[in-house]
Structure 1
Amino acid sequence: MTASDYLLTRFGKLSLFRQTCVVVLAAIIGADTLTLVFYGIFFADRLLLDLFLTTVITVAVGFPLGYFFLRQQLKLAWMAARLDRAARIDHLTSLANRKTFFEEAEAIVGSEAFREGAVLFIDADHFKSINDTFGHAIGDAVLQEMGSVIRSSVRERDLAARIGGEEFAVFLVEAGRDKTLEVAERIRQNMRGVRRAVGIEDREITVSIGICLHGPDQTLNDILLRADQNLYVAKNRGRDCIVATTGFGPVFA
């Protein structure tokens, strides 16, 4: 990072009032320096008075203008940040969205540092009946709670997303077989508490989970395809279970 980049970063962390003060102070220094040079040559007897007047005028004019323009700049930066977040985050669960998941998972698998990992596809069982019975507001609340369960069950460096409807995906980074199964089972068990959180005690809320651990020479598409296939195997086994493989090898869970 260059010195100018460092200064701009520090400046950006200041409050709007302090940013304005910095800009006005810089203007005062510049204006007073020019006054010193000019009046030191031509009007030395009026130097102190003119320095004072220059400072007062700079503050009176510069502070409101600086505050106004810096405020507009901060608004634009805030709007840009919100638009970027909206493009990358699922609005309902605050997890990553489908586009972000595939982009970031591709980057993880393609990085030189990547050694091992696993993809989990997680699907709510019989979710349509929840919407049909309790309404879409409760359905949305269930999805929000499911997102919370998934977020609290993975590490900060892992990638969790809602990729559509009632389907979620997790990419566990640097996770082997035991760790992956531990996380998946924690998610499956903790989902049982969702019904209490949304107030529908008389309805079980469970998930089916399909897992694929990264195998030698596998692409991201290979892992995603097998995890998706394993999810459907879990559904066909009666739901509320986990089906896992390494690459295109045999099922081990």
Structure 2
Amino acid sequence: MTSIHTIPLLFLNLGGEMMYILDQRLQAQKIPKDKSMKVMNDITSIMLNEKFLGELFKPQEVYNKQALRKLFEDLAHGSIMRLNSASMDKLYDLMTMVFKYQVFNAQSPNDVVLITLNHLDSIRNFVTCLTIQKQVDMAHSMVMKMYGKMSPGELQTIRYSLLNFFQDLKVRVSVLLRVGVQNPHGDFTIYTSGAVPPGCEVPGFIRLFDQYGAVAKVKHFNADGDYTAARDVGSMELIGDRVIELGCNM
């Protein structure tokens, strides 16, 4: 199952993950702050170029994996930073596996939008140039214009499309292995406990209705999990509480 509206979310979220990783590498290498800021500003400026985003948001089929990787390789080299082939491979593997994990763990179709907004929020915090921050705001506006009024069914189709793109990708990532969400085979560990999605009830109850439509009896069963009440619905405003942590820096 694929959607012609998948590419913008795929690109923006992978771009957000790339920014997290580059920021960590710049800090680890003790790159001077002015040079680090230039790298983050330059890459964001290219990534969120208005003309480029205009093309990106046009309905289209999902890029093949090689084309998408080449796009991010060019983007990573869009500033003074240079990565060799091995470093680029590690960067791209980490980007894709972390975003795959986020999509995999989305509780509701709406979460794919909130994950994207978390990434855009972080990108905005990385850049120091007001003009580039306005590019981030423009990207937020474009996301909301396309996805803000989509039905749950449309968003779920996009989620399936993203998962199909990542289907055969099972690269082991140290950060995911360390926190216990990935096993040595590259598969993700999915936990069945926790808060249920917005609009849903905690499982474990069966309601029996009488002929008049009133609840006549309630039965309880073991749902095999420790569930809690639904979380709040995350904000989709330019600045707001997204509620979920997916899309934030791990």
Structure whose alpha-carbon radius of gyration is higher: 1
Structure scoring higher RCO (CA < 8 A, sep ≥ 6) equals: 2
Q: Which has the higher helix share?
A: 1
Instruction: Give the structure-1-normalised TM-score.
Output: 0.22
Structure having the higher strand fraction is: 1
